Amino acid sequence: MNSLERRSGNPVYKAVIYIVLIFLAILSLFPFYVMVVNSTRSTQQIQDHAVSLFPSNNLMNNWNVLTGKTFNPGRGFINSVIIAVGCTALTIYFSTLTAWAIVAYEWKLKKPFFGFILAVMMIPGTITAIGFYQFMWKIGLTNNYLALIIPAVAAPGTVFFMRQYMLSSFPMELLDSARIDGSGEFKTFNEIALPIMKPAMATQAIFGFVGTWNQLFMPSILLTRNDLYTMPMMVSQLKGDIYKVEYGAVYLGLTLSVLPLFVIYFSLSRYIIAGVALGSVKG
């Protein structure tokens, strides 16, 4: 009896665990549920009862109120996609190339270079934002997406991740046999190294995309023109006086801003969780 109980655990304790887990699951989902449901309800309904488990039929009306003012979800979506795709593509390609330079070749400055990457990996971008802004302003790149996208070429955290992955799973014999076949070094990288790095690139692409999409600090410093606003910048307008009492529209705006993330997350959650477990480095 005793040994059986030891192996399967105390049933009361186990029940407590499940209750806590279910409570936490509700805690994670409920705020978003309220958000989605309220985006279909009228401001009057929300004022009467702010929590409802059932949607209503006011979605179109909320949409008209929302888009009738300054909030332009289509514009924000397109702008955010341009920046996020641009940054992600550059980060992934050049980080893999840099990792390749570190892993596949022996060169004198390789060790100091990698040491430098480790040292600067943790420096947060916000710390140097003032100098960055002044510099961009001087060379006329404020209100220009290039100022947000080009810096993505140098992503120390991603280089580090790619190097770790390459060391553990890239068979270097492939490089030698490619050389025997007469393949150029750059061609070898593009046609042999890149395909093998696909799983690592996919993981980093997801985190890179989501991270860039969610950015608020840098875009709000660099972009002042309304038509260039990203999704999180659009969302910040929902707090202003313009939407003060339009609760239904505010909830709808919030829902639209997180919808793309929900789609990405729930279709790729397996890879995302695995990616976090691999020790993805925050940008």
Partner 1 sequence: MSKKKGSSISYARYGYLFSLPFVIVYAIFHLYPTIYTAVLGFTDCKGLGNNNWHIFTEDIWRNFRTILNNNTFKTSLSNTVVIWIMNFIPQIVLALLLTAWFTSKRNQIKGQGFFKVVFYMPNIITAASVAILFNTLFGYPKGPVNDLLVSWGLRSEPYYFTNNGTAARWIIAFIQFWMWYGYTMIILISGVLGINPEIFEAAEIDGANDRQVFWQITIPNIRTILTYTLITSMIGGLNMYDMSRMFNNGGPNNSTLTANVFIYNQAFSGSYMYNRAAAASMIMFVIIAVLSIVVFYLMRDRHERRA
- For the chain, percent helix, then strand, then coil, each to nearest 5? 75, 0, 25
Out of 69, 81, 151, 164, which residue is the one contacting partner 1 (CB under 8 A)? 151
**Nearest approach, Cβ of residue 91 and partner 1 (Å):** 10
Both structure tokens of 174: 């492939």
Window 75 to 114, contacts with partner 1 (CB under 8 A)? 94-95, 97-98, 100-102, 104-110, 113
For 10, the 3-state DSSP assignment is coil
The separation between CA 249 and the C-alpha centre of its own chain, rounded to angstroms, equals 25
Out of 1, 4, 12, 27, which residue is the one contacting partner 1 (CB under 8 A)? 27
Q: Establish if 178 lies at the interface with partner 1 (CB under 8 A).
A: no
Token look-up 């339009």 returns: 246
> DSSP labels for 136-167?
HHHTT-TT-THHHHGGGG--HHHHHHHHHHHH
Quick check: 41 and 52 in contact, CB under 8 A? yes
Q: Which is nearer to partner 1, 44 or 64 (CB)?
A: 44
Out of 64, 115, 124, 191, which residue is the one contacting partner 1 (CB under 8 A)? 124
Count of residues of this chain found to bind partner 1 when the rule CB under 8 A is applied? 97
For 66, the 3-state DSSP assignment is helix
**Nearest approach, Cβ of residue 199 and partner 1 (Å):** 16
Quick check: 229 and 223 in contact, CB under 8 A? yes
Q: Which is nearer to partner 1, 63 or 132 (CB)?
A: 132
Both structure tokens of 197: 């790095």
Q: Establish if 3 lies at the interface with partner 1 (CB under 8 A).
A: no
**Nearest approach, Cβ of residue 206 and partner 1 (Å):** 9
Question: Phi/psi of residue 41, each to 5°?
Answer: -105, 155
**Nearest approach, Cβ of residue 68 and partner 1 (Å):** 19
Q: Which is nearer to partner 1, 64 or 186 (CB)?
A: 186
Site string for partner 1, 39-78 (x = CB under 8 A): -------xx-xxx---------------------------
Site string for partner 1, 204-243 (x = CB under 8 A): ------x--xx-xx---x---------xx--xx-xx----
Q: How far apart are CA 73 and CA 1, in angstroms?
A: 62
Q: How far apart are CA 278 and CA 271, in angstroms?
A: 10
**Nearest approach, Cβ of residue 30 and partner 1 (Å):** 9
Out of 19, 78, 118, 122, which residue is the one contacting partner 1 (CB under 8 A)? 122
For 70, the 3-state DSSP assignment is coil
